[in-house]
Amino acid sequence: MTHTIKKLDKNLINQIAAGEVVERPSSVVKELLENSLDAKSSQITIDLQNGGIDLIRITDNGIGVDKEDFPLLLEKHATSKISSVEELENTLTMGFRGEALASISSVSKFSFKSKPKDGQHAHQIDQNGEISVCSLNQGTQVEIKDLFYNVPARREFLKTPNTEYNQILKLLLGYFIAYPKVSFVLNHNSKQVFAFRAEDFQDRVAKVLGNKFTDKSIPVFYESSNLKLSGIVSKPEFCVSKKPEQLLIVNNRPLKPDVFSIAVKNGYGSLIFPTQKPQFILNIEIKAQDVDMNIHPRKLEARFKYQSILFATILKSIRQALQKVSLVKNVEIQKPSLDSYLSHSPAGKSDGSSLQRPSLQGSSYNPRPQGSFGPRFQGMSSYMPASQRQSLMGDYSPSSNHQSAGLNLDQTNTQGALENSSQNQDLDLSSFQNSLRYLGQLSNSYLLFESKDGLTIIDQHAAHEKVKYFEIRNKLKSVQKHTQKLLTPLEIDMSIPKIAILNDAKPVFEKLGFDYDINQNKVLLTQVPANLVKINPEKLILELIDDFLNADTKNLIELEDIAINYAACRGAIKFGQSMQPLEVQSLLKSLDELKEEKYSCPHGRPSTIGISHDELEKLFLRKK
């Protein structure tokens, strides 16, 4: 017996199609909002009940729909936005498929009211296609009640009203930012949640994501005949390890940043920890024919004609934006109240002698990790002629290629962008050597300087670690290997996971200067890197293996970077080690050669911080 083939009825077709377009209340909000924006509305009100499950109502003041077009509103593949393939390729409107209303109206209690600018009356259409006169100001109001009331299987999949509401908020955030010139009102369960007036981008971002987001971000800009890039990216100190705010807006359409979030991150190089993620809002304006928006059922993704060029351009623009600003992390000090001083004094006593110095870093600040007490300044009086001093800098030889070295891990086609960025001549990077006057060393750990902005403090270990990091990176690139044969090969017992790492990462170990043979669980170590000979070889290889195991990666490039970090840390001036002024100068010179990389250690922690005159005045209660 054969099966009989039947043509499905229109309503069933729309319900099936709705499976793709309408996933949950937020997808309905998205479609209706995009229609209002396509209608050139300058004012949009969104009313929700119960996370949008019971009601979604969107009211706009856009161009509206003529009465004659009403019969086609709920027809599938009926749109006012395109009429040919050429127009599809060139369209800049959010909608173009002519299927959203057909789908939504098939799975909800639906009503659509509209009055065009010159129309005499407003009209409405319900989900059965009934058209009647109604009252409405110019614009359109679409009301969706009881989403999925007739598709119980889908209704069951809806989450709690709170979760659905949060999904809507997440979605709206992108549109609020992409359309700062549109005023939006959001009401949930009859309470107003947001009301934004038309404003500029920066103000809107501050309202949506908070003032801190804009204060801690820097602008990005690039323009060519085919592409305009604008937006803001977080300063390194405002990058986060979890849940970053990342928004890509392409031709006014908020999209998932996807691969471009890697481009942005790579733009930071080693200014941030590998685990940290930048926060950003990137606005891309591109020719409509260079981007295909028609690849995702809910238009959440796009395909770009020149993706790798765009990737490289974003990376380069972020790099340049970061280079242009001072990356010295400015410390914000809470203004201490008089109470905060008095509360430290013994009960009843408040004479000056018992006042405590306010802590720079709160209670955890520990100026002398080595155990001795009180900050100790080593001033210029300890300056000694070069001949009497032994340099701590060893065989340090700065490389001219630091800028791109930090980004050699890029796996995408970014080389061109990097080369261009390192050739950029108009960078305004303040030279440490010219702008800092050395004051002394604090706790044999921090270097203190006067700068034109106030006090600059450099963490000597973190800063030198960065210098060493690039030094080692560059040495690894050279053909000549700096290795040291062990006089007697060293036999070390190892666990299976450690042996596995030695096998898997052998090319990395060899590149670093190690050589060994493995026999079951025994390793015969015959050669170590020359710059690490001071470390007990067994300890050295075991520590490195531990770092590799902790990193939980088999990617050889990442492992090489971990090894370089390890070697840089071990080879750098220690915290608690005394430094002579000329050594400090030499460190500043090496740091200057690192250009914008000089402000952080290889792990992305700041190595340089500044306390401005302003902050000092606040600290001493000279300024309110």
Ligand X SMILES: Nc1ncnc2c1ncn2[C@@H]1O[C@H](COP(=O)(O)OP(=O)(O)OP(=O)(O)O)[C@@H](O)[C@H]1O
Q: Which residues lie near ligand X (CB under 6 A)?
A: 31, 35-36, 39, 60, 62-65, 73, 79-81, 95-102, 140
The residue among 106, 101, 77, 97 whose CA lies nearest residue 15 is 106
Is 606 one of the binding residues for Mg ion (CB under 5 A)? no
Picked from ligand X, Mg ion, none, the partner binding residue 606 (CB below 5 to 8 A depending on kind) is none
Q: What is the smallest separation between the CB atom of 95 and Mg ion, expressed in angstroms?
A: 3
Name which of 136 and 524 has its Cβ closer to ligand X: 136
Short-list 270, 586, 562, CA closest to 398:
586
Tell me, residue by residue from 330 to 359, as one string, x for binding to Mg ion by CB under 5 A and - for no binding: ------------------------------
- Least distance between Mg ion and beta carbon 125 (Å): 15
Of 95 and 257, nearer to Mg ion (C-beta) is 95
- The answer to whether 217 contacts Mg ion (rule: CB under 5 A) is no
- Binds 36, which of ligand X, Mg ion, none (CB < 5 to 8 A, cut-off by type)? ligand X
100 counts as binding Mg ion under rule CB under 5 A: yes
328 binding partner (options Mg ion, ligand X, none; Cβ < 5 to 8 Å by kind) = none
Question: In the complex, which residue's CB is closest to ligand X?
Answer: 95
Q: Is 28 in the site for Mg ion (CB under 5 A)?
A: no
Rounded to whole angstroms, the Cα distance separating 544 from 364 reads 30
Residue 581 in contact with Mg ion, rule: CB under 5 A: no
Provide the sign of the torsion angle of the four alpha carbons 440, 442, 447, 453, taken in this order.
Answer: negative
When asked if residue 62 is in the footprint of Mg ion (CB under 5 A), the reply is: no
- Look up residue 138 and give its two tokens: 């110019």
Amino acid at site 271: L
- The per-residue DSSP string of 272-298 comes to S-TT-B--EEEEEEE-GGGEE-TTSTT
Rounded to 5°, the CA angle 279-285-286 comes to: 125
Q: Which residue has the tokens 């060519």?
A: 224
39 binds, among ligand X, Mg ion, none (CB under 5 to 8 A by kind): ligand X
Q: Write down the least CB distance from residue 40 to Mg ion, Å.
A: 14
Q: Beta strands 139-145 and 109-115: pairing type? A: antiparallel
Answer yes or no whether residue 37 interacts with Mg ion by CB under 5 A: no
Closest contact distance (angstroms) between CB of 63 and ligand X is 6
Sheet holding 122-126, edge to edge: 131-134, 122-126, 109-115, 139-145, 55-60, 43-49, 183-188, 191-196
Q: Are 233 and 277 in contact (CB under 8 A)?
A: no
Toward Mg ion, which CB reaches closer, 100 or 281? 100
In the bound state with ligand X, the residue whose beta carbon lies nearer, of 108 and 441, is: 108
Alpha carbon distance, N-terminus to C-terminus of the chain: 90
The distance of closest approach from Cβ of residue 41 to ligand X in the complex, given in angstroms and rounded to an integer, is: 7
Kindly indicate which of the ranges 29-37, 41-49, 58-66, 414-422 contains the residues binding Mg ion, using the contact rule CB under 5 A: 29-37
Closest CA to 441 of 329, 327, 583, 593: 583
Q: Which of 25, 95, 161, 406 binds Mg ion (CB under 5 A)?
A: 95
Minimum CB separation of residue 34 from Mg ion in Å reads: 5
567, 295 contact by CB (below 8 A): no
Name the residues that contact Mg ion, by CB under 5 A: 35, 95, 100
